[in-house]
A and B are shown apart, each in its own frame.
Chain A
């Protein structure tokens, strides 16, 4: 059981890094609290696995510290850190039975055989492997193998955290869901810190209480799935979370308002003041397709736009429209009237976010 702190952590694979791009992990400050279920979400190559391997000790960070419960563990090898890690491809010891596989980590630290037995049986029960215990691990299916490799992490009492590196990649879709639920149950039962690396937003949000979104070696936002959806802290989060992703429009700050194209957007005075103070150059306005309001007829707030096409996705439709040369999307509910040719849309202020240099700018409204 441990709280994992990453203190000014950075990592590079290059020998003499000069620019931020040379870093696989850019300097970060982060805390994984004891007992949390976390997901580390990001596209391929953003540094997720690197970060995970640094926590488990398979990789030594080039800068900064990893702390377990406040104690520096940089110099400790993986075997000294009491961490369990489940890899993308299931690792089982082929020649051993399932029982021996599960018992392996305990035998390595010299636990007496009767204790091993009760622990292995308990974990096998939870993972629904009880009837497979006498089989050779080699003959198991991919999902069973992955359960065995998870089980090897669960048998140890001393485990501070379990790290999952895209563990469901090789599992069939219908089993994925079952295994993910299993993981969730295990988390509730054992109260172990779990960090789950994935590039699948659905996987992340069903598993984790809080998600850390990684992009170009940085954690750009750490929050609940709902926060990531409603209030993306970075344009990448807006784009990566949600389907389809957030709409973005380049904008400029003027004296009274925010303008894009020939249109303007009224802003909260405090936010406007802040933007003006920042002398912000790269400004973007973002709004989720779910929050774009499509009206049935003209009204004062609505802009008239050209409809490009409408995709029917079963329970809802996605309307793609052209707003001053920028293609934007809006989500229509099933029973909503589908606009033909032209449409009236508006952007509710509450859901219209302003980004400067890709990061969200916010003010306290109260």
Chain B
């Protein structure tokens, strides 16, 4: 059969192209536009080439924020992924208990970011908050407003509380999808509980874990609201992450050019890291 050349078929992809153009490409182009020009007003602008990018790449404040950001994201991944799997494994699978557990686990997911920040802001205060008071009772001088380490840990704790349920629910659904016969075969093979987890459950969870890792990485890498509500990025710069720096630069100082260049670099970092995660996990599964 000969292939029929018909370029009219391209019209069929038009709607998708338009939607993507308006939702992603055109807004992104605006940012590109700002990143290579120095714009004063609609009639006054100068092309500056890679000037802003050079400035951004050598800005030590941004370097610090980037390092802080990576440590933060990897910390919460290192906690949330194993914890989420553990919670999913412990959740009941049948009866009323199962529905109840699902609801309880899902509750943190329903709370908006800034509310989470406010909750923990109050919760962590030694004078009016339960958590703060508890720490004080234990003899720990916990104060997120003055201790950088405490502020940082509070933000981590907040995120773990808020988002571990997402990982847990993903894993729970993944675990439910494993046919009973695998467990039966494992019993006949006299597999230990650990072997069942290592060779049946974990491999079958790979796909949901990829989703979990990518979602949690992207989200945590863009974290803004919680530290902003808690301490506004302080004390000092201890909880000033990348998006916080970006907002300070773009809206605080109104340096739109460097901020646009920074946005693009930021975007590329996220893309790169996601790609690395994805290909690593996929390669781990491959048939040798």
Interface on A for B, CB 8 Å cutoff? 56, 58, 77-79, 83-85, 87-89, 91, 93-96, 104-105, 108-109, 134-136, 138-139, 149, 152-153
Contact = CB atoms under 8 A, between A and B. Distances in A.
Contacts of A89: 179, 181
Contacts, number: 58
Interface residues of B, number: 20
B185 to A, nearest CB: 4
B200 A79 contact: no
Contacts of A87: 181, 184-185
Contacts of B185: 85, 87, 91, 149, 152
Nearest to B182: A91
A105 B204 CA distance: 20
Contacts of B199: 93, 95-96, 104
Interface string B170-201: 00000000010110110111111001000110
A247 to B, nearest CB: 40
A87 B286 CA distance: 26
Contacts of A95: 199, 203, 285
Interface string B270-288: 0000000000000001111
B10 to A, nearest CB: 38
A77 B188 CA distance: 9
Nearest to A97: B288
A139 B187 contact: no
Q: Max chain A CB contacts within 10 Å: which of B182, B184, B188, B204?
A: B188
A102 B64 CA distance: 52
A78 B187 contact: yes
B259 to A, nearest CB: 45
A88 B185 CA distance: 11
B95 to A, nearest CB: 15
Given A83-B188, A85-B188, 19 more contacts: A58-B184, A78-B188, A79-B190, A84-B188, A87-B185, A89-B181, A91-B185, A93-B199, A93-B203, A94-B203, A95-B203, A95-B285, A96-B199, A135-B287, A135-B288, A136-B286, A136-B287, A138-B285, A138-B287
B192 A108 contact: yes
A13 B200 CA distance: 28
Interface in B211-235: none
